Every structure is written in structure tokens, then in C-alpha cells.
A and B are shown apart, each in its own frame.
Chain A
Amino acid sequence: MKPKRIESINDFVIKFANVNGSGSASANELFARSILRMGVPVSPRNIFPSNIQGLPTWYEVRVTEKGWLGRRGGVDLMVAMNPQTWNQDIAEIEPGGYLFYDSTRPLPQSKFRDDINVIGMPLTDICNATYDDSRQRQLFKNIIYVGALAALLDMDAGAIAELIGEQYKGKEKLLKPNLNAMQMGRDYALAHLKCPIGLRVQRADAVGKKIFMEGNSAAALGAVYGGATVCAWYPITPSSSVAEAFERYCKRLRVDPETGKNKFAIVQAEDELASIGMVTGAGWNGARAFTATSGPGISLMTEFIGLAYFAEIPVTVIDVQRGGPSTGMPTRTQQADILSTAYASHGDTKHVLLFPEDPKECFEFTAQALDLADRLQTPVFVMTDLDIGMNTRLCDPLEWDDAKQYDRGKVMSAEELQAGKDFGRYLDLDGDGIPYRTYPGTHPTRGAYFTRGTTKDRYARYSEAGPDYVDNMQRLLKKFETAKTLVPKPLLSAALHPARFGVIYFGSTSPAMAEALDALAAQGIYVNALRVRAFPFQDEIADFVAAHSKVFVIEQNRDAQLKTLLVNEAHINPASLISVLHYDGTPITARFIVKEIAAVTAALNVRPLKKDKAA
């Protein structure tokens, strides 16, 4: 019996199974970008090993005219280029889906499935016949399959050619062979394979002005725009590309054109203890400084984070979260550092966290974090993750207002000191819990102080007296209250109909959540959704929970860390919260969220509104 065929235009998932280091990454990205050029949104994801060469790697592209950028789950077309993972790759294809593979070597029938459509193309034979050099054979094989896919999916070959042209502009030696390889693959497929298959890409106008960018690059650019001059870091996946992108952008945007000198300093430190130390020292001395790291790095930094909290030093940390705990899952995503950052360090500490949803917010929040760190004189964490950080994501274009000045916070000048303004480093002059500071070297006789952790009074004099300690700790709490008024507010997506249920989510869950809300509404299940964008939590969050009978809290970790923080810090009754937790290292999907929420609402006997009635 002939297998059924999945038929879909501009809405399917294609997955490339490759061997790490085989040059597939750039070919796969070329494929994804070509679809974008046709005006159809895509959401690609790298699923890669902790390895440079040899281990399996996957690239998953969701083609989605509706713009659902979360991971969908399931595969409609598998491009199986890695014999190592053949069995698992074949198993992953949806019934009625398609398998594209290199048919140079015959495979026994038992290696296939009856319920999928198999498309074989002798890629190795074609390459061997065309190229002598083994490296060329490998690299062009990737471009050849992109050409074949263009034919199979009825894509616009012109869009691919245009991109190849841009990529190899000025490198004619590379341009021609790449174009030829793409064309060769396309021609072969048109001549020998049944084109197109049931999956097709059709020109649309659904991309608009959107940009296609990695979150880590966006965060780095936010640091450039936000005025960071010092970046101290230690390599750790998935955050290393933040520092590398910062260097790249700085070389373009921060070199003084007259002197050729740098308005930035980047130090690859000996470890995370040193990188956060350098950031702390630079912040103490009045420069804007940041580091980028991931969970294990946060663990190493916690002693300094506590000191920066107590000594009230601006510090910005970009935490690109990965699977934890310990040194685990470096190439997988999670939102599992919420508690370890919120309460990082010894003693009573609490820190400001920002939760960007996409590269655009990585840009905005990193720039804003530098302002907040100066304003609040405290560590501020930008809590991104691997899913946002290391995947190219479609998002709105980045924006900047040229009228914006940096908020350097409360820094007492030499003139103010000279005029006799009362300077106490830990003195709350304005009633907002934020004291004034001075930069070292400001005034010959006034404003100098000795920086330490907690052992001090309001004038930074050494004091082990209990009342001085309590006074300081209470002021820090007041400062944290002030932070609530400064951090990004939560955003509400109200359901079309009055809803008993609410959902709270944050960060990279955002695209999957948007899609899930749409799918739930289609089933007649209406929920109001609140996207939390920062800690400390504003009152709106507790009000939102109070306004619903139950609120789902969607998180990508095992222990419901955001829920714990909500219960602890916003004094929310845990009985009103239901956790939806996804933590296997893959990005959360709308399918998962819908299934979990629908199951609970069904169990709670919610009768879905009739679709026609609702409309």
C-alpha cells in the first residue's frame, strides 16, 4: 500500500541530520534563509553535541507562515545524512512524512518504514563524479542537497542564488562553484525525482521588516549601545558567542576613527571568579562592565556577587542558561538558574533579574541592565538561554532613540562635594534606599571611602555594631522595592472571553506560549496570559493571580523555580498555582503546553465554550 502523503504549504518541519564538522551548518542556514527571502517565516534550531567533529548534529527548520517561532515537535521531512543516527531519525518522521537520503549505497528494506515517503538521491555518486578533491566532495554535497530540496519543495531557486551571491560577494572563486552545485542538485531532482512533494514553500508576505538574529549577538550589541566598555569573560557554552560578538561589534563601532584606539577592553579571564572580579572592579571605578556566562559560571561567581550586592557595585551579568545542574547538558537549553541567580551568594541577598523573550529583548534588556545596575548600584542579571542565545531567531528590528542618555545613577561630583553636600556612602539621602557613590580620585579631601561588605555604618566607617548592620540591611530591602518601579513590567495577553484560568510564563517560552494560546482558544479553552519580564515582581503579578481561580506557571526546569520565587517573594498562595514543567533539554513546544493545560482544565470540569457561541 502506498503511504499517505502529508500535504502542507508553508507549514511544516524539516530536520537535517548531519555529522558535526562536515560543513553542513552553513548549507542548512542557507536553506532557512532562502525561505525567509520568499517571505515565509522560519524558526531554525541547532541541536548540537558538545563536540567539534564527528558526533551527530541536527538542524531543525520550522516553516511557518503564521509566524509560530516556537519548536513544533515532530518532523515532516527528514534529510538523513548521518548513518550513525539513521534509526532514530527514521523513527522521528511523522506518518505520511518524507525521508530524503543519500541512496549511493543500497540499504535493506528493513531500514525504512512503510508509512513514510522515501526519496533517494545518489549524492555521493554525483559528488564523486564531479569533484576530485575529498574536501570539495564533502562541502558541495551539502549545497547539492539544498538544490535538490529547492526542487522538491518547489522553492524559488532565485532566492537561493541571491543569497549565495551575497555570501560570496567579491569571492568569485567560491561564488561560481557554489551556484553550480546548487543548480546541479536542483536539475538532478527535477529530472529524476517526483517534484514537488506534498510539502511546498510558496512566496508570501509574512516576514516584513523583521530581522533574523541570534540572541547572543543581540545581547552583545545591547552592551555596545548601553555603553559597556569593559567585558571580562571566561569561555563557556552557550554564552561564549556573547563576548565574541561584543568584540566583533566593538571593532566596527567603537574604535576611535582619529587615533585608531579602542573605546573598549575585553579580557578573557582565567576563570569566572576573575571575570566577575574584573567586572566588579570596573563597576566600582565607574566604567560600565559586564560578563557573559552560564549556570556553572554563576556558581563560581557567587562569592563576588554577594560582595557586589553588599558593597553596592554595579555589575551586569548575561546568563545564557543551559541544562543543569553541575557541568551538565552544555548544549541543551533550560531556564534553570532562576533561584541560583535570584538568591546568589551567602547571607541575605536578592538580585534583579530580567527575562528577555527574543533577540530584540536581549538587545533592549542588556542595554537597560547597564542603566539599572548603575541606578540601583547592584548586580543585574539578563536571563537568556541557549534557545534564544544560539539560534537565529526572527524578531522585530532593533530600535534605539538617539535622545537617550545613559543613567549613571547617583554619583556625587567633585563640585557637589566641594559645596559641602553630605556624603555618606551608605546614607539614604533621597528615601529610595539608593545611596550616593563617588568614583575614586574625585576630590582631594572629600568623598573617599573604604569599600567592604557588610561591616560598616552609613558613612562607610568600620562597624560591627548590630544596629548598623540591621539599618543597612533594611535600606537594601527598600532599594529592592525601588527596583520594582524600574524593571520592565509584565505584559498581559487577555483572552477573547472572560477566563477563569491564567497562565504565567517568561523568557524563551514566549513563542510556544503564543501558539499554545491560539490552539487552546481553538479548542474553546480561554486563558489570560501574563509574561513576567523581571524580578523583583511588581504588584500586577500578584493581582493577576488573585483574579483567576488557578494560574498555570510554565517553566523549563524541574523544580518550578519561578513558582517558588512567586510564592516566596510575591506571597502567592501555592495552591492557586499549577506548574507546567518541561526540562528535557529541548525547547518547550506549544503541543506540550496545550496538552498539559487541556488535561488539567478537563480534569477540573471546565466545559469548553462552543466555538460558534464564542465567536
Chain B
Amino acid sequence: MTYLTKPKLHHPTLQKNKVGYTRRDYEGKISTLCAGCGHDSISASIIQACWELDIQPHRVAKLSGIGCSSKTPDYFLGNSHGFNSVHGRMPSVLTGANLANRELIYLGVSGDGDSASIGIGQFAHIMRRGVNLTYILENNGVYGLTKGQFSATADAGSKSKRGVVNRDAPVDTVSLALQLGATYVARSFSGDKKQLVPLIKGAIAHQGAAFIDIVSPCVAFNNHEGSTKSYDYVREHNDSVNRLDFWPTRDAISIDYQAGAVIDVAQHDGSVLRLRKIHPEYDPLDRVKALNYIAEHQAKGELVTGLLYVHPDAEDLHAHLNTVDTPFNQLNARELCPGAAALAKINAALR
């Protein structure tokens, strides 16, 4: 099969952002996922976030692994380069790409099979290394493209559409990311655009490893009674710790300040995250407390959402490696080759 083509006609009155693009300029091909798939809502939130951030679409690189989630980068940012790589290996490809050109914005899109099973090693190490990216995990607890097998994020006790009960303990990617050193960690729900869009914006602005676990129900294989990743289950058990607003660097900040309920977090690039705290005791700047909070609520069967942790002054891999500011892919022989004279010296030392 080939694609359905999407009409490129834009209504002349469509609103443009500061870099002159309409929201539709951030769209991609028509999705081939099932109608009602949570993943398509996430794509819509990514489009909204990029448009609101005034990002030039072609300055984003979208990388993914294999699976339903990993197909989605074709369905947003059609003028960006995309790379549908190897199952579970998006993190390494993205790391290499990021090293080659530090000036682009990197979106890594993955699923729960891709990140928590086959790719759990690469997921762990990209968080450790602090690669500057936005890692979006579209988490439905199930293998969709191979038709309904459990994934490693499926909760123990959850029941598949065929009635099989999962007995294995689930991998909690949010806790894992926190332990491994991710510097921006959030969880959200595909159906909660109000929460999700600012979280994605904050993640893109974050200058380090940003991870968002997004529960995204699979309408075909995991949206029934007995599933803990269904629309109904998540809506009933969702416990949001905060509401996030995001301001890019250039916007003046003027918003009501309610002592004790709101905190501002200035990120390294100058952008500001404003957190309206729904749970007053929640402190997103304390990694250890965040881990405890998540665990305590998990034990009660509650799914904690929102911005769970941010380290506003995070350093990324390029800082660790002390690389030059010019992207590597723009360096030529004059800048990279030491030349014949240096080689003559090396030869002389080898005699």
C-alpha cells in the first residue's frame, strides 16, 4: 500500500506563529493507525507544542524504533527528517545523530515494547548519558503491531483481550528514568492534551535528557475491562501532582502568583516552567522525594502524572564531552586533518 495524500491547501486565515508557520505546517502524513488510537492524540500534542514553541519544523529530527508508536513520526512534522530505525535501538541512533549536529532538536519516539523490553538497555544508557532530547514513550502495555502480546509495562494482574492474565512485574519507566539520571521526567495521558502540550514544550526546552511516559490506550488490544492502560482505567486512577505552564525565554512573565501553590523553574536555556501544585507537598526539584512519591502512590494503585522531576541546570552529553560549538557535520578537512607536517613528526617519533 501507499499513502493517502493529504491536501496541502491551507486556509488563508489560519493563524501563523512567530516563525511564519501555521499549525498545519507541522502536520505529517495521514496516520495509518487505528481510529481512536492514543498515539494519534500524542502526535497532535507534539504538533501543537512545536507550533506554540515557534520551532522551524525542519530543525527537528525525529527518530524512532519499531512498532506502532515508532510509525508515528511520519504523521507529524512532515518537513523534518525522520528515521525509523531498529527495534529498541532508537536511543543509540539518536545519540549518534545528536553528536553529529548539536544544533537540531531531537525527538525520540518509542513504545513500551521498544523501550521497556528489547530496548531497555539503550533506554537506560541514553538517560545516563544525558543526551539532549525529548524522549516520548507511548505506553499502551501491549504489542499492537504484532497483535496483542503483553509488554513489560503491563501491570501484574491485568488481563489481555483474550483473557490471559499477566503475572510478571511491570517495568516502571518513570522510576527507572529517575534512577538513571534523566533530568526532566514526566508522566501524562494521551487523552489529556491540556497537561501534555506544556509537558512536551518544557521537555523540548530542557537542555538534557527529558523523558515523558505517556499512557496511551490501545483501542484494538488493550482498552477493555481488566486493562490498566484503558481510557476508563486511567481516567479513574489518574492523580495529577501539578499543572504546568511553560514560557519560552522571550516572553515576559506575568501571571498570578499564589504562595505555596505555584513555583517557577527557570531552565538552563532561560525558559520558565510554572508549576501549579495540586499536591502541596510535591517537590519536583527533589529526585529522591519524587521516587518515593511515585512508589507510594503506585502502591495505592494511583497513576501519578505531571512533571515529576526537573533539574533545571542539567548538562548534556556535549558538555560532558567538551565538544566544539560548530556541528561536527560542518567541519571539513581544514579543521579536522592535522596535515603532513604533523604526520612527519609522528613518523619521526616512531623510529
For window 222-245 of A, CB contacts with B under 8 Å fall at 224-225, 227, 229-230, 232
Q: A263-B335, A304-B89 are in contact. Are A277 and B122 (CB under 8 A)?
A: yes
Contact A439–B101 (Cβ < 8 Å): yes
The 7 A-B pairs with the shortest beta carbon distances in the complex, nearest first, are A277-B92, A281-B96, A286-B329, A287-B100, A440-B81, A278-B96, A285-B100
> Does residue B83 face the partner (Cβ distance < 8 Å to A)?
yes
CB-CB < 8 A to B327: which residues of A? Answer: 287
Q: A284-B97, A463-B2 are in contact. Are A262 and B322 (CB under 8 A)?
A: yes
CB-CB < 8 A to B122: which residues of A? Answer: 270, 273-274, 277
Contact A212–B350 (Cβ < 8 Å): yes
CB-CB < 8 A to A440: which residues of B? Answer: 58, 61, 80-81, 97, 101, 104
CB-CB < 8 A to A279: which residues of B? Answer: 96
> Does residue B170 face the partner (Cβ distance < 8 Å to A)?
no
Contact B350–A213 (Cβ < 8 Å): yes
> Does residue B339 face the partner (Cβ distance < 8 Å to A)?
yes
A-B residue pairs in contact (CB < 8 Å), sample of 14: A36-B351, A209-B347, A211-B350, A227-B333, A232-B95, A254-B338, A256-B324, A261-B325, A269-B125, A278-B99, A281-B63, A397-B347, A440-B81, A462-B74
Pick the contact of A448: B58, B317, B347 (CB < 8 A): B58
- Interface residues of A, count at CB 8 A: 79
Q: A262-B324, A270-B122 are in contact. Are A287 and B333 (CB under 8 A)?
A: no
Q: A270-B122, A439-B101 are in contact. Are A448 and B329 (CB under 8 A)?
A: no
Chain A binding site: helix, strand, loop or mixed by DSSP?
loop
Q: A259-B324, A441-B81, A449-B81 are in contact. Are A281 and B100 (CB under 8 A)?
A: yes
Q: A211-B347, A440-B97, A448-B79 are in contact. Are A262 and B336 (CB under 8 A)?
A: no
The 0/1 profile, CB within 8 Å of B marked 1, for residues 412-438 of chain A is 000000000000000000000000001
Contact B83–A451 (Cβ < 8 Å): yes
Pick the contact of B338: A253, A271, A399, A441 (CB < 8 A): A253
Determine the residue in chain A with the shortest Cβ distance to B343: A400
Question: Distance in Å from the Cβ of B7 to the closest Cβ of chain A?
Answer: 16
> Does residue B209 face the partner (Cβ distance < 8 Å to A)?
no
Contact B101–A285 (Cβ < 8 Å): yes
CB-CB < 8 A to B340: which residues of A? Answer: 399-402
> Does residue B257 face the partner (Cβ distance < 8 Å to A)?
no
Q: How far is it, in angstroms, between the C-alpha of A256 and the C-alpha of B334 when the chains are bound?
A: 12
Q: How far is it, in angstroms, between the C-alpha of A227 and the C-alpha of B338 when the chains are bound?
A: 9
Question: Distance in Å from the Cβ of B98 to the closest Cβ of chain A?
Answer: 8
Pick the contact of A400: B79, B99, B100, B339 (CB < 8 A): B339
Q: How far is it, in angstroms, between the C-alpha of A207 and the C-alpha of B339 when the chains are bound?
A: 25
> Does residue B57 face the partner (Cβ distance < 8 Å to A)?
yes
Question: Distance in Å from the Cβ of A172 to the closest Cβ of chain B?
Answer: 21
Determine the residue in chain A with the shortest Cβ distance to B339: A402
For window 263-320 of A, CB contacts with B under 8 Å fall at 263-267, 269-271, 273-289, 303-304, 307, 311
Interface size grouping (class) on chain B: 35 or more
Q: A440-B80, A450-B74 are in contact. Are A461 and B85 (CB under 8 A)?
A: no
Q: A232-B96, A286-B100, A289-B96 are in contact. Are A464 and B1 (CB under 8 A)?
A: yes
CB-CB < 8 A to A439: which residues of B? Answer: 101, 329
> Does residue A444 face the partner (Cβ distance < 8 Å to B)?
yes
CB-CB < 8 A to B258: which residues of A? Answer: none
For window 58-73 of B, CB contacts with A under 8 Å fall at 58-59, 61, 63, 73
Contact B346–A221 (Cβ < 8 Å): yes
Pick the contact of B81: A36, A254, A275, A448 (CB < 8 A): A448
Q: How far is it, in angstroms, between the C-alpha of A344 and the C-alpha of B132 when the chains are bound?
A: 32
Pick the contact of B337: A227, A230, A276, A443 (CB < 8 A): A227
Q: How far is it, in angstroms, between the C-alpha of A260 and the C-alpha of B325 when the chains are bound?
A: 11
Question: Distance in Å from the Cβ of B335 to the closest Cβ of chain A?
Answer: 6
Question: Distance in Å from the Cβ of A40 to the closest Cβ of chain B?
Answer: 14
Pick the contact of A287: B59, B74, B93, B101 (CB < 8 A): B101
CB-CB < 8 A to A461: which residues of B? Answer: 2-3
Question: Distance in Å from the Cβ of B331 to the closest Cβ of chain A?
Answer: 6
CB-CB < 8 A to B332: which residues of A? Answer: 227, 405-406
CB-CB < 8 A to A457: which residues of B? Answer: 2
CB-CB < 8 A to A277: which residues of B? Answer: 85-86, 89, 91-93, 95-96, 122
Pick the contact of B346: A276, A398, A463, A465 (CB < 8 A): A398
- Known contacts A284-B100, A400-B339, A462-B74; can you find 6 more A-B pairs with CB under 8 A? A212-B351, A254-B336, A263-B336, A274-B122, A277-B122, A451-B85
Pick the contact of A281: B97, B324, B346, B350 (CB < 8 A): B97
Contact B328–A287 (Cβ < 8 Å): yes
Contact B84–A452 (Cβ < 8 Å): yes
Contact B82–A451 (Cβ < 8 Å): yes
Question: Distance in Å from the Cβ of A228 to the closest Cβ of chain B?
Answer: 8
CB-CB < 8 A to B98: which residues of A? Answer: 281
Contact A278–B93 (Cβ < 8 Å): yes
